[in-house]
């Protein structure tokens, strides 16, 4: 991985850095930071950027089949937004001194992770509503916290992204409300979709805290403000009320309300399934990577044209400057 010339970490600089974190100061690209902070951010932010871009695929699958112009326009805008989120976050990652092309290549080579959720298929039109509601809903819970992350460019990207994710979530829930209040067949389609997306949505938050090797360090440095389990619990508590409001049920016979904590407690998550998907053996991992590789190959002429245009502009500017001297 190409990073800026590493500066040797020394105790005094580390102490000053940690004091800034403790004072809730924002860390900016030109500030000194421990190499480990930099590499953890590159890991997490690049995985996040890849997730946004790969996340366009499951929903993109339904654009041509949207049942009305209104739904098609909403879906087109949403998928386009996700591409934009990927670009903001790749830009944010570049401020850490890594080349975007290198990150994209890691994805194409199958060496980079992206969110497990995008390795599940969109089998019915209701899945488009369920993704907006649950997947974007989970993303908001996670990313609202990341908007307070200690690294300035990431936090600022999250503020902007969360505004759009809120729209995505609202349209997804409105979509599910419409199906749940529709014909019995439409309601059954909404329920069947909720059944398939519920558990993978809970897995998006990552392994339990006890099994999360990166959490302690990320929390110490103010990148993560809440743990995987805390955010998952918040999502469950928010979502169960929404499920009940539209008279659907989550596929969890063990779900119970805990009076003492005010939390909805779920049954066990299938972590074997989670790790299978993360390690590349989910239902759509190879299809998703295949689609990204094809798009990358077919987009080569666009990148070449943009480079040629940029070079021409630079040449023209140089010649103009030379003539004026
Ligand atoms: N899918 C794929 N991999 C995951 C997932 C997931 N849902 N959850 C955890 N992992 C991976 C981690 O990347 C890590 O692998 P690595 O060390 O090889 O990089 C490993 O599992 C262990 O997990 P943690 O130690 O808990 O990792 P971390 O502390 O980074 O927490 C989390 C994971 C919560 C996903 C965090 O990185 C994060 O908040 N990322 C930013 C948000 C994001 O990427 N969202 C993507 C989906 S949102 C959307 O695109 C709409």
Q: What is the pLDDT of residues 170-180, one digit of tens each?
A: 999 999 999 99
Mean pLDDT along residues 228-237: 98
Above 90 in pLDDT, residue 234?
yes
CB neighbours (10 Å) of residue 276?
16
Q: Are 55 and 118 in contact (CB under 8 A)?
A: yes
Q: Are 44 and 70 in contact (CB under 8 A)?
A: no
Residue 116 Cα to ligand 1 middle (Å): 9
How does the average pLDDT of the chain come out, rounded? Answer: 96
pLDDT for residue 10: 83
Please tell me the residue having the least CA distance from ligand 1 atom 45.
48
Above 90 in pLDDT, residue 325?
no
Mean pLDDT along residues 108-129: 98
Residue 176 Cα to ligand 1 middle (Å): 27
Query: Nearest 10 degrees: CA dihedral of 318, 306, 5, 151?
Result: 120
Residue 19 Cα to ligand 1 middle (Å): 27
pLDDT tens across 312-324, in order?
999 999 999 999 9
Please tell me the residue having the least CA distance from ligand 1 atom 8.
206
pLDDT tens across 82-113, in order?
999 999 999 999 999 999 999 999 999 999 99
| Crossing angle between the packed helical segments 136-146 and 184-203, to the nearest 10 degrees | 40
Please tell me the residue having the least CA distance from ligand 1 atom 7.
204
Q: Please choose from 39, 40, 47 the residue to mutate so as to test ligand 1's pocket, defined by most ligand atoms within 8 A of CB.
A: 47
Q: How far apart are CA 176 and CA 126, in angstroms?
A: 7
Listed in sequence order, the residues at least 6 apart from 135 whose beta carbon sits closer than 8 Å to its beta carbon are 55, 117, 197, 201, 204
Phi, psi of 212 (to 5 degrees): -105, 100
Instruction: Return the DSSP state at 112.
Output: S
Q: How far apart are CA 156 and CA 26, in angstroms?
A: 10
Q: How far apart are CA 182 and CA 165, in angstroms?
A: 26
Ligand 1 atom closest to Cα of 165?
51
Above 90 in pLDDT, residue 26?
yes
Mean pLDDT along residues 206-217: 97
- Reported in sequence order, the residue ranges of the chain that DSSP labels E, i.e. its strands, are 256-258, 263-265
Confidence of residue 7 (pLDDT cuts 50, 70, 90): low
Residue 189 Cα to ligand 1 middle (Å): 30
Instruction: Give percent of the chain above pLDDT 90.
Output: 96
Confidence of residue 9 (pLDDT cuts 50, 70, 90): low
| Ligand 1 residue neighbourhood (C-beta within 6 Å) | 43-44, 47-48, 51-52, 55, 113, 115-116, 139, 142, 203-207, 212-215, 218, 228, 278
Above 60 in pLDDT, residue 2?
no
Residue 166 Cα to ligand 1 middle (Å): 21
Q: How far apart are CA 182 and CA 176, in angstroms?
A: 10
pLDDT for residue 8: 56
Q: Please choose from 200, 206, 273, 277 the residue to mutate so as to test ligand 1's pocket, defined by most ligand atoms within 8 A of CB.
A: 206
Mean pLDDT along residues 267-286: 98
pLDDT tens across 131-176, in order?
999 999 999 999 999 999 999 999 999 999 999 999 999 999 999 9
pTM of the shown model: 0.94
Q: How far apart are CA 26 and CA 17, in angstroms?
A: 10
Residue 279 Cα to ligand 1 middle (Å): 13
Confidence of residue 74 (pLDDT cuts 50, 70, 90): very high
Taking Cα atoms as reference points, which of 230, 269, 271 lies closest to residue 252? 269
Q: Are 136 and 39 in contact (CB under 8 A)?
A: no
pLDDT for residue 175: 97
Mean pLDDT along residues 283-290: 98
Domains observed in the chain: 6-283 (1.20.1260.10)
Taking Cα atoms as reference points, which of 213, 266, 258, 221 lies closest to residue 239? 266
pLDDT for residue 116: 98
Name the residue with higher pLDDT: 182 or 8.
182
Ligand 1 atom closest to Cα of 203?
7
């Amino acid at each position: 991985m190409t990073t800026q010339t590493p500066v040797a970490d020394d105790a005094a600089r580390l102490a000053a850095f940690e004091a800034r974190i403790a004072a809730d100061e924002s860390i900016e690209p030109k500030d000194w930071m421990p190499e480990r902070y930099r590499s953890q951010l590159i890991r997490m932010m690049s995985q996040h950027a890849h997730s946004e871009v790969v996340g366009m695929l499951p929903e993109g699958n339904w654009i041509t089949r949207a049942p009305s112009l209104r739904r098609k326009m909403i879906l087109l805008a949403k998928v386009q937004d996700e591409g934009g989120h990927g670009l903001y976050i790749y830009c944010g990652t570049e401020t850490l001194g890594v080349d975007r092309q290198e990150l994209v290549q890691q994805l194409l080579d199958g060496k980079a992770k992206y969110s497990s959720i995008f390795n599940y298929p969109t089998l019915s039109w209701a899945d488009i509503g369920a993704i907006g509601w649950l997947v974007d809903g989970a993303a908001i819970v996670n990313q609202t916290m990341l908007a307070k992350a200690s690294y300035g460019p990431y936090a600022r990207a999250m503020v902007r992204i969360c505004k759009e994710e809120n729209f995505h979530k609202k349209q997804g829930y409105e979509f599910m409300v419409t199906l749940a209040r529709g014909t019995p067949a439409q309601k059954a389609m909404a329920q069947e979709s909720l059944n398939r997306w519920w558990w993978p949505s809970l897995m998006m938050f990552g392994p339990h805290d006890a099994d999360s090797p990166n959490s302690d360090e990320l929390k110490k440095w103010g990148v993560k403000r809440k743990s995987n389990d805390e955010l998952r619990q918040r999502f469950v508590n928010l979502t169960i009320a929404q499920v009940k409001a539209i008279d659907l049920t989550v596929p969890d016979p063990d779900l119970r309300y805990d009076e003492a904590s005010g939390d909805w407690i779920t049954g066990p998550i299938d972590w074997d399934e989670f790790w299978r998907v993360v390690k590349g053996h989910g239902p759509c991992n190879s299809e998703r990577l295949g689609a990204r590789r094809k798009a990358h190959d077919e987009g080569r002429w666009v990148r070449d044209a943009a480079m040629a245009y940029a070079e021409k502009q630079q040449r023209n500017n140089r010649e103009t400057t030379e003539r004026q001297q």
